[in-house]
């Protein structure tokens, strides 16, 4: 195509179509088959997109909890759990963060009606410890009333990595320990200050 073939029309407007006429033409031709505007009987249920195997537990090679000090830290997390403010989910979690000099700081989840402002037990314990002047931590215990281990969520893992490094994470329920992990096993490729240049 030569430059003369690409000249704009004499009225100064381009020959290119605007987005408005494409949308108008699309709405006049064929309706969307399975969009949000489709009748309920035509919408996909989502069952074909969901693979139940994805919800199965993934083995991360948990180390058994065998140390008496781990059991004491789990007991502190269990005690902190009793103060949880979980009025909406009723999912009470307790955490106990241990400093290098053996001080244990407890935390519990604190929910909010907006849900987005909810604080996890691990973050509460970490913020309490940091605000009290502690800066070196060795391990954290997390307790919930579940059969399976309940590890820290993604944001908690990120903050624990930032301020605690590769600490031990001891998980438990109301019956006792359920697992022990290094944070690096739960957060294998963390974003941290090393990536900021």
Catalytic residues: 122
The distance from CA 115 to its chain's CA centroid, rounded to whole angstroms, is 13
The distance from CA 190 to its chain's CA centroid, rounded to whole angstroms, is 13
Answer whether 103's CB lies under 8 Å from 139's CB: no
d(CA 14, CA 17): 8
The number of residues in the chain equals 197
Angle at 97 between CA 94 and CA 98, to 5 degrees: 145
Question: Which residue stretches of 30-120 are H helix?
Answer: 68-81
Reading the block at residue 99, the tokens are 């400093």
Three-state DSSP at 127 gives helix
Cβ-Cβ contacts under 8 Å for 56 (sequence gap 6 or more):
none
Local structure of residue 15 (DSSP, 8 states): S
d(CA 112, CA 11): 60
The residue with tokens 């948990």 is 62
């Amino acid at each position: 195509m030569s430059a003369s073939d690409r000249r704009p029309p004499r009225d100064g407007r381009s020959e290119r179509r605007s987005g408005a006429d494409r949308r108008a033409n699309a709405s006049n031709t064929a309706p969307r088959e399975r969009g949000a505007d489709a009748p309920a009987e035509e919408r996909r249920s989502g069952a074909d997109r969901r693979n139940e195997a994805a919800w199965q537990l993934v083995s991360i090679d948990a180390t058994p909890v065998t140390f008496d000090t781990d059991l004491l830290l789990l007991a502190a997390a269990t005690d902190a759990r009793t103060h949880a403010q979980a009025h909406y989910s009723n999912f009470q979690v307790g955490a106990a963060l241990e400093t290098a000099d053996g001080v244990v700081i407890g935390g519990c989840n604190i929910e909010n009606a907006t849900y987005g402002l909810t604080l996890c037990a691990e973050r509460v314990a970490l913020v309490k410890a940091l605000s009290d002047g502690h800066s070196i931590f060795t391990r954290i215990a997390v307790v919930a009333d579940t059969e399976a281990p309940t590890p820290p969520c993604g944001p908690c893992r990120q903050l624990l990595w930032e301020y605690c490094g590769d600490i031990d994470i001891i998980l438990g329920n109301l019956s006792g320990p359920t697992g022990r992990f290094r944070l690096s096993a739960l957060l294998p490729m963390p974003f941290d200050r090393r990536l900021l240049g």
